[in-house]
Amino acid sequence: MTPNPLQGAQFILAAHRINQLPSDQGAEVAFAGRSNAGKSSALNALAGHKGLARTSKTPGRTQQMVAFSLPPLKGDEGQAPLDIRLIDLPGYGYAKVPEPLREHWKQEIDAYLNHRRSLRGVVLIVDIRHPLKEFDRMMLDFCFHTHLPCHVLLTKADKLSRNQAQQALAAMRKQFASEGLQATAQVFSSQAGTGVDEARNMVVQLLRTERPE
**pLDDT for residue 196:** 97
In a domain, 67, yes or no: yes
User: When comparing pLDDT for 42 and 54, which is higher?
Assistant: 42
Domain count within the chain: 1
In a domain, 5, yes or no: no
In a domain, 39, yes or no: yes
Provide the residue range defining the domain that includes 26: 10-207
Instruction: Please choose, from the candidates 51, 45, 17, 35, the residue with its C-alpha nearest in 3D space to the C-alpha of residue 158.
Output: 45
**pLDDT for residue 58:** 47
pTM of the model: 0.93
Residues 119-144 have pLDDT tens digits of: 999 999 999 999 998 889 989 999 99
In a domain, 91, yes or no: yes
CATH code at position 192: 3.40.50.300
With 50 as the cut, is the pLDDT of residue 60 above it?
A: no
In a domain, 97, yes or no: yes
Is-contact 213 182, C-beta < 8 A? no
Share of the chain above pLDDT 70, in %: 93
With 70 as the cut, is the pLDDT of residue 95 above it?
A: no
23 — pLDDT class (breaks 50, 70, 90): very high
In a domain, 94, yes or no: yes
Sequence-ordered list of residues with C-beta below 8 angstroms from that of 134, at least 6 positions apart, any chain: 93
Q: Count of alpha carbons within 13 Å of 38, Cβ hemisphere only?
A: 22
- Of 40-54, 60-74, 79-93, 155-169, where does mean pLDDT reach its minimum? 60-74
In a domain, 2, yes or no: no
In a domain, 90, yes or no: yes
